[in-house]
Structure 1
Amino acid sequence: SDNTAWSLPVLYVIYRDLRAFATRADETLLLKGEKAVKLAEAARLIQVGFGLCCSDRTSTGDTKKLGVLYMASLLFKIYFKLKSTALCKNVIRGVDNAGLLDGFQVPVAHRVTYRYYMGVLSFLQEDYEKAEDHLSFAFNNCHRNKRRNRDLIMNYLVPLRLLKGKRPIPALLNQFTQLSDLYQTFIAAVRLGNVELFDSHLIQVEKQLMKRGTYLIVEHID
């Protein structure tokens, strides 16, 4: 019945650890030849906390709505892990129903993580305009020291922009060694109009792109 936000940091730790423990429990179950069910069970518990945050109608800054994006992102992580991204629609609906969060001091890190997952979902749905918008926000607001997070964002943002004919700034791309090695030949091929070079490099790095989930979009770059 308490609609204030004082308990949110505690809930964050509980649900974060719950996801981690459930993930490890599922790994153990799989090693035993049993069905992995713990992460799905954890998601149902986290949905309860997410629902409480979404339904809080407190109009002041001391509201559980401050936790909406954190809880949503936690559920996104689980659904991606379970390869059940269709369930993300319910989470997005919950965030939308919670109303605009612009008037609340939602941590930037929560916004960045949420927009990253929204960008990836839009990417998977081939809504590339929306994907670029979400991922650009995520990258521009991601802390510079969060190298792994920035790399995850750029994994999708680089091919998205190449598809629109936007070549990444060399100094920026060079900060991401693996991505730079992966895309420099594509960028050169596009600049030179060398289709043969592009296609041969595509064959060479096909497995890498498939693993990153970006093969299909790179295939359509010209």
Structure 2
Amino acid sequence: MGAFACARTLAGSGRDEDAVRAYEAHARGVKDFVKAYRADEDSAWTSEAWYVAVDDARALAQRADEALKRGGEKPSKLADAGSTLMLVYRAVSQTSTAEKKAPQLHVVNNLFKVYFKLNALHLCKNLINAVNLPTFLPFDSFPKSEKVTYNFYVGRLAVFEDAYERAAEHLEYAFAHCHAQSARNVRLILQYLIPVKLILGTLPSRKLLEKYELREFVDVVEAMRRGDARTLDAALSDGESTFIKQGTYLILEKLRMSVYRTLFKKVHAIHGETADAAKANQVSLAKFQTALAWCGADDVDLDEVECIVANLIFRKFIKGYISHKNRVLVLSKADPFPSLQSVFAD
């Protein structure tokens, strides 16, 4: 345990060279602890120490990498911490003693944090597979906070894989079970849950956005509600740096097709009120052009409108076909505008 004490002393000095040495000392301590933990079947009482050791390993590695960057060197300690934490995971998993397995999910969650920080998302699949193994402790046996963290990262991973229904399932779990007073964590969950729900066609309330200070989504939601592509473009432009930092910009860009769908659905509804019943599902492309112009896209010609509509049909946002000769969209009489949830079904 001398290596851990050495690491704490070095970490407290505040010097960059000591930050690197602190991590290296701590990593030696972890590896020695792993050997002792494996060798002694009666060491279950020490399993609590892994929670601190694992958190410190990741924190010290990040500080060491920051110090290396300042010195003009390549950061490498967080990647090394990932390998070190895998040793810990094997030590707490490859045992028949349930008490010694207690830190399993905590280690997995820290590995998620490491892999997301390193943008090594392909390694996260192995963690999910490990949690689903029969040798892993029952998921419900872990503390609520650990289960929330796990679902948050699994949900985020699903977002990057465009598996929006799966993402919603895990992020909704995290949102529902996160401590109500942990406003910062709730806000972090919502930064990913809101874009996912928007993709699936569910709009958050203004009250929710204001409660958790998520004002960057206000105009995005309004654009979805009104079918206003101009408002969406402005919202994405204004919040670009925020959305890129969150990792949600590309998801929100996909809302453009949903916005067009909303706008054209409104055009169809208005057309149906005035047209003959026999032609209620035959909408002139010129009407869509007028609607787009109302939203500020007054430079879109009929060819571009036809291209937008064709894209909506191809991506299954709309059911129907285009009569190119007559410049008319002929909509299906059965569910011409499928739900967004069915469009983005996993």
Question: By how many angstroms is 1:146 displaced?
Answer: 1.5
Question: By how many angstroms is 1:122 displaced?
Answer: 0.8
1:210 aligns with 2:244: yes
Whose relative contact order is higher, 1 or 2, with alpha carbons under 8 Å and at least 6 apart? Answer: 1
Q: 170, 173, 198: which one pairs with 2:232?
A: 198
Structure 2: gaps (5+ residues): 1-39, 259-346
Question: By how many angstroms is 1:3 displaced?
Answer: 6.6
Which residue of structure 2 lines up, in the alignment, with residue 138 of structure 1?
174
Which residue of structure 2 lines up, in the alignment, with residue 127 of structure 1?
163
Structure 1: gaps (5+ residues): none
Query: CA RMSD for the aligned pairs?
Result: 1.9
Q: 85, 99, 104: which one pairs with 2:121?
A: 85
Which residue of structure 2 lines up, in the alignment, with residue 6 of structure 1?
45
Paired with 1:125 and 1:103, the residues of 2 have a C-alpha distance of: 23
Identity %: 37
> 1:110-142 CA deviation, whole Å, 9 max, x = no partner?
111111111111111111111111111111111
Paired with 2:82 and 2:68, the residues of 1 have a C-alpha distance of: 17
Q: How does 1:1-222 map to 2 (within 5 A)?
A: 1-2=40-41, 5-58=44-97, 62-99=98-135, 101-102=137-138, 105-177=141-213, 179=214, 181-221=215-255, 222=258
Residues matched between the structures, number: 217
Residue 54 of structure 1 contacts residue 97 of structure 1 at CA under 8 Å; is this kept in 2? no
Which residue of structure 1 lines up, in the alignment, with residue 12 of structure 2?
none
Residue 164 of structure 2 contacts residue 200 of structure 2 at CA under 8 Å; is this kept in 1? no
SS at match of 1:183: helix
Paired with 2:126 and 2:183, the residues of 1 have a C-alpha distance of: 30
Paired with 2:75 and 2:221, the residues of 1 have a C-alpha distance of: 42
1:37–1:169 Cα change, 3 Å: same
Paired with 1:151 and 1:161, the residues of 2 have a C-alpha distance of: 15
1:5–1:115 Cα change, 3 Å: farther
| Superposition misfits of 4+ residues, deviation over 4 angstroms | none
SS at match of 2:198: helix
1:46–1:3 Cα change, 3 Å: farther
1:10–1:161 Cα change, 3 Å: same
Residue 30 of structure 1 contacts residue 36 of structure 1 at CA under 8 Å; is this kept in 2? yes
Question: By how many angstroms is 1:18 displaced?
Answer: 1.5
> 1:178-210 CA deviation, whole Å, 9 max, x = no partner?
x2x111112222222222222232223223222
Question: By how many angstroms is 1:98 displaced?
Answer: 4.8
Paired with 2:148 and 2:170, the residues of 1 have a C-alpha distance of: 9
Q: What amino acid sits opposite 2:178 in the alignment?
A: C
Q: TM-score, normalised by structure 2?
A: 0.59
Q: TM-score, normalised by structure 1?
A: 0.89
> 1:8-48 CA deviation, whole Å, 9 max, x = no partner?
22111011112111111111112111222222222222111
1:6–1:173 Cα change, 3 Å: farther
Paired with 2:223 and 2:246, the residues of 1 have a C-alpha distance of: 21
Residue 51 of structure 1 contacts residue 94 of structure 1 at CA under 8 Å; is this kept in 2? no
Question: By how many angstroms is 1:100 displaced?
Answer: 5.8
Segment drifting more, 82-91 vs 131-140:
82-91
SS at match of 1:28: helix
SS at match of 2:204: coil
1:104–1:175 Cα change, 3 Å: closer
Residue 54 of structure 1 contacts residue 94 of structure 1 at CA under 8 Å; is this kept in 2? no
1:99–1:34 Cα change, 3 Å: same
